[in-house]
Structure 1
């Protein structure tokens, strides 16, 4: 197994960046959300989060499967699921407290924002809503991605086992499930709010396990033949064409695009935005756009890039490394930010919500990372009279 120094900082950095964008997009009525990357193409930060999480699963559980077997790997995954499940419940309850203060103290209408309205089942039928939430059948706004993550982590050992025995056939099976979700989009778990999950597990498992498979291929060295200069140039050109083409398409089909183009040319503009790009089932065009973005990131940001050691990069990487607490805090801050923007305040309030929220998320990542480093240093120093203990894989 690679040691901790071999960790690819880019994974943490891009995951941290995705967490900040998710926070911005989750704040209701946030003008800053109109200029996030998701406005320039069909995919957004959710794909980044899920893909990198799948990549990390291979690094965390792959060695356990190889050395200790499937049962040990599944136990580790279920322990992580228990942690995620507890975080999901705690986050929902804290968000519900924020909503209660907004509705019953600040006298804000719950129906004025879908963020607040998603908690209506909890206030209408607390026992039924809590029972449904425990089994992931009631997921208020922004909590469905964490529930999706729980299912994917629970299924990860089976994918790793299948890949170890059948190779790319495991990936093919994942693609078949993805196609099934496209054909029957209603195949999704129930949700007391809005009827079903916003993320179809059958569809989104594909991008998760594509990340897992990529990690396994990279560590096995099977991608080295693809590193020839002409192949890399071809991939760069193709990915650039996909990203640029979809950005132009989406911009031309928007109201803003039509407003800046002479009326005589409107007939040449697309009448509809990019098709087959729905978020619920991770439409094919959406998946293609994300894979092109991931390819560009891998090609344009080399692992040894000097700026990855800069202070801003380290801040983002700290958030990505501690993604669970940062994500949960981001959901709470997004609900609180929605409430604050509903009370008015104009541009100063918009700046306070966004800059304050981002600062708190970055600070959380830094504090948790410093605590982790202190624990690592303490564990590395053996007690007097004892021999050093080898690090567990």
Structure 2
């Protein structure tokens, strides 16, 4: 029997941070988004979310494949896809109600924000829009990442089976598909609102399955990330260099640089960093960021047990409801900032939104802990496997 691996609090912590950043970035016209990590490098919270989700998939479904076979693993994955699909539809309908209230009762112009405007097909041609929604081909603003995740979960058992049988050849195939996406960026599913998805599945499957492969390697114990100062220095230098490059190429960078030195500044930002196709520089930046996080935050770090860290861990542990509620709140926040974009409204939208997501995570975590059976201090039969409840589910 394959050993099940207990949760790594760092995964939930970083996913929780990513979810809060996603909410802030999804609020249209939000000045706070200008100081989020994406402003200091080509990658952003989306890579964190997808990578950790891929890592968690290996921990959740790998033992099922080993113990019960491919068919059982695929059934579990498809059942999860059904849950995600229902969550996607319900979240869209609730968000549409928010938009309807803002436009038809609040008298806001739908064209004032692309967040609101992305729901126009649902009001103009509701039957067509709902039909396209059912097949994930109508995705309003911020819904692309959930649709991407549904697709990746559906094919995850095939990757796990391929890795178990062919090893790193499965990873090589994932990288090959990524290169195909770079050579043919038009291979993206259509979207009724915005022509096509904002995430190319062929490209983004790479970061997802790199996370899956890393979890399998870590679980096997064959490979460990070397605790090297030289490696840490190299990845920090790469991250710092990209941050300087992006700042130097920005309007602010040009504005604060003396005129005599502006000729030395780059005219364009970091190349090969497109988000839709997960450009190579974007992927490199994220991998360096993940490596730095693994080196700087050990698994047994004491501060992971602090109250703020536990709150973020709870946010990441219950990522699906937190993400869905965050989407609805971001649409509502966008509408509020269209109606009133003063400093007080900006502060209120961000504080209330983040507080609501953290409160939701806290309530869900307390409910989960109450449902768990009490732990026995001295089990009658020693076992090397942890309980199924220790296996992470995601997103």
Q: What is the TM-score when the length of structure 2 is the normalising length?
A: 0.94
**Matches of 2:195 and 2:47 in 1, distance apart?**
23
Instruction: Return the alpha-carbon distance in structure 2 between the equivalents of residues 66 and 10 of structure 1.
Output: 25
In structure 2, the partner of 1:156 is 156
Take 2:178 and 2:136, find their aligned partners in 1: how far apart are those partners?
Answer: 21
**Superposed structure 1 runs of 4+ greater than 4 Å apart:** 1-4, 390-393
Q: Which residue of 2 aligns with 1:387?
A: none
1:140-151 mapped onto 2 (5 Å cutoff): 140-151=140-151
Partners of 1:3 and 1:374 in 2: CA distance? 23
C-alpha RMSD of matched pairs (Å):
1.4
Separation in 1, partners of 2:222, 2:197: 37
Between 1 and 2, higher relative CO (CA 8 Å, sep ≥ 6) is seen in 2
> Alpha-carbon deviations, 1:156-191, whole Å to 9, x = none?
000000000111100000000000000111101010
Distance 1:165 1:70, change over 3 A: same
Q: Separation in 2 of the partners of 1:352 and 1:268? A: 41
Deviation at 1:377, TM superposition (A): 2.6
Aligned to 1:20: 20
Match of 1:327 among 319, 323, 330: 323
Partner of 1:173: 173
> Is 1:239 the counterpart of 2:235 in the alignment?
yes
Between the aligned partners of 2:187 and 2:60, the Cα distance in structure 1 is: 30
Give 1:233 shift.
2.1
CA apart distance, 1:52: 0.1
| SS class of match (2:373) | helix
Q: CA deviation at 1:223?
A: 1.2
Q: Does 1:258 align with 2:254?
A: yes
Deviations 1:185-238 (A, max 9, x none): 1101010011000000000000000000000000101113x53x5xx2232122
3-state DSSP class of the match of 1:356?
helix
What's the TM-score, normalizing by structure 1?
0.94
Question: 1:259 deviation in Å?
Answer: 1.1
Q: How does 1:309-320 map to 2 (within 5 A)?
A: 309-320=305-316
Corresponding residue for 2:383? none
Structure 1: 5+ residue stretches without partners: 382-389
Q: Are 2:372 and 1:347 aligned?
A: no
Structure 2 CA distance for aligned equivalents of residues 195 and 343 of structure 1: 28
Say how many residue pairs are matched. 379
Q: 1:122-154: CA deviations, max 9, x gaps?
A: 101000000100100100000010000000000
Aligned residue among 352, 360, 363 for 2:356: 360
Which string of whole-angstrom CA distances, capped at 9 and with x for unpartnered residues, describes residues 42-61 of structure 1?
Answer: 00000000000000000000
Q: Which runs of 5+ in 2 are unaligned?
A: 377-385
1:130 matched to 2:126? The reply is: no
Distance 1:3 1:127 in 2: 45
SS in 2 for 1:193: coil
Instruction: Look up the match of 1:218.
Output: 218
